Amino acid sequence: MARHFISIKKLSEEPYSGILGYPKSTKRQINSRISELEKLQIKSISFTGPTTIGKLEILGKGYVGIVVLAKRKSKYVALKIRRLDSQRTEMKNEAKLLKLVNSVNVGPKLFDHSKNFVVMEYLDGEKIGKWINSLKGRGRSKKLKSTIKDILQDCFKLDQIGFDHGELSSISKHVIIGEKKCAIIDFESSSTKRRPSNVTSITQAIFIGSGIGKQVQKIYKIPSKEKIIGALRIYKQNQSQESFDNLLKVLKL
Ligand SMILES: Nc1ncnc2c1ncn2[C@@H]1O[C@H](COP(=O)(O)OP(=O)(O)O)[C@@H](O)[C@H]1O
Ligand SMILES: [Mg+2]
């Protein structure tokens, strides 16, 4: 796919300003955001991706941010732009949390941040639901199992550092699976003050929830709900390597 990049100077013009200052902004806010991007060494932006706002394509949209593909030092990065109607007044906390999970090699790599932006590794992939649907042919069960195992291991690492993602029950929005790498995203609602329940939440979302669970079941026979809940209960009581390994065994991973 040819990617057309637009210089950040052009972002003050319609329709681009509608993304930089989503959903509504003043000229002043747009200009201030453009100089913020200059400081972050973001040179240009490409409007490509699976989601659209008006006529422009973007990588994704949430309640806090709009994410677009950008170029920084000639490398592709994902740029999360703070929505002007977001509950958050700045991106600092999210960047701090992302940096923390990066310390155990989880999440997209954080490159930089400012008041209104987070610059991070671009994950070229798909949301888990779509990805599972696209699995075909022999070996798909093996591929699915190893990916789920990778995701669970990331969750275990987060549990181990006392970090709770907070939104893993909606797994379809928060895991991106690419050719080389799969990653948990969006640490916006995370906390280091709650008791972590990453492994538990994601296991429930993958194996017990109705959406992804049904898709997984079509590819490999998953154990009974009772068995899974039993293993999760043991894990909840003691989040040790041993009880995590037991969970993987029960899940046939
Ligand atoms: N690093 C990334 N690489 C590619 N796409 C991303 C990346 N981060 C986020 N996205 C896309 O942007 C969407 C919104 O990002 P997210 O961080 O969930 O925003 P919010 O905090 O507003 O919910 C995601 O669902 C995903 O599709
Ligand atoms: Mg989100």
What is the CATH classification number for the domain harbouring 245? 1.10.510
pLDDT at site 128: 93
pLDDT at site 180: 87
Tell me how many domains the chain contains. 2
- What are the C-alpha distances in Å from 2 to residues 5, 47, 73, 82, 235? 10, 11, 19, 27, 47
In the three-class reduction of DSSP (H, G, I as helix; E, B as strand; rest coil), residue 80 is classed as strand
pLDDT at site 179: 87
Give this prediction's pTM: 0.96
User: Among positive and negative, which fits the CA dihedral 36, 108, 67, 155?
Assistant: negative
CA 237 to ligand 2 centroid distance, Å = 29
Collect the ranges in the chain with pLDDT lower than 70. Answer: 1-2
Which ligand 1 atom lies nearest to the CA of residue 86?
22
pLDDT at site 198: 98
Please identify, among 121, 138, 168, the residue that sits at the C-terminal boundary of a domain.
121
Token pair belonging to 72: 């920084």
Token pair belonging to 176: 């991106």
The reply to whether 114 and 149 lie within a common domain is: no
Q: Which domain holds residue 154?
A: 125-250
- Residue-wise pLDDT tens digits, 70-104: 999 999 999 999 999 999 999 999 999 999 999 99
Which ligand 1 atom lies nearest to the CA of residue 63?
22
Length of the chain: 253
pLDDT at site 243: 98
* % residues pLDDT > 90 (the chain): 92
Strands 5-7 and 182-184: unpaired
The reply to whether 46 and 71 lie within a common domain is: yes
CA 167 to ligand 1 centroid distance, Å = 13
The reply to whether 131 and 215 lie within a common domain is: yes
Choose the residue to mutate in 186, 187, 190 for probing ligand 1, maximizing ligand atoms within 8 Å of C-beta. 186
CATH number of the domain bearing residue 71: 3.30.200.20
Q: Are 1 and 69 in contact (CB under 8 A)?
A: no
In the three-class reduction of DSSP (H, G, I as helix; E, B as strand; rest coil), residue 70 is classed as strand
The reply to whether 130 and 179 lie within a common domain is: yes
The reply to whether 138 and 246 lie within a common domain is: yes
Please identify, among 121, 155, 171, the residue that sits at the C-terminal boundary of a domain.
121
